[in-house]
Amino acid sequence: MSVHLSANHINAWVLLTRVSQSCLEGIEADLKAAGHPPLVWYDVLLELKRAEEGHLLHNEISRKILLTKSNVTRVVDRLESHGLVRREDCPGDRRSAFVVITEAGRDLQERMWTVYRASLAKRIGERLSLDEAKQLAALLAKLDSRA
């Protein structure tokens, strides 16, 4: 089945990609300016904080985070070296380990959220009304393959 791809479809794709990249770059810059680590650290820490008992397996983290999934092991290694997470044996599976958020990890995630929230407000909240944000979210949800 062939679907016609119009100039409007292509323009929507180009704008979606540009806006996404621009927002991510701006958020990363704001975090860096505030002395915080990269956004992917926040993303991993948030998912661990949200998880029941504060822990997830590596593959669970990969499925949940918003950003690139290919470097989860490397990111977890860095988080662990800073005392933000720790690894614990997984009962029943000696090949797997849980990644567990520490209190230091929870504290960092909360400090990062203050900057991240302000950055999102500047890039989205100040530019879209509540109705526009709702409309955009509904349109983007139609494109989300995970939904």
Strand, helix or coil for residue 16: helix
Residue 95: per-residue pLDDT: 76
What does pLDDT average to over the chain? 91
Span 49-72, mean pLDDT? 82
Radius of gyration of the chain (CA): 18
Of 50 and 92, the structure prediction assigns the larger pLDDT to 50
- Residue 73 scores a pLDDT above 90: no
Q: Would you put residue 108 in left (φ > 0), alpha (ψ -120 to 50) or beta? A: alpha
| Cα 135 from Cα 141, distance rounded (Å) | 10
Span 6-24, mean pLDDT? 95
Q: Can you read off the two tokens belonging to residue 82?
A: 């800073």
Q: To which H or E segment does residue 80 belong?
A: helix 72-81
- Residue 70 scores a pLDDT above 90: no
Query: What are the chain's domains?
Result: 7-142 (1.10.10.10)
Instruction: Note the pTM of the prediction, 2 decimals.
Output: 0.86
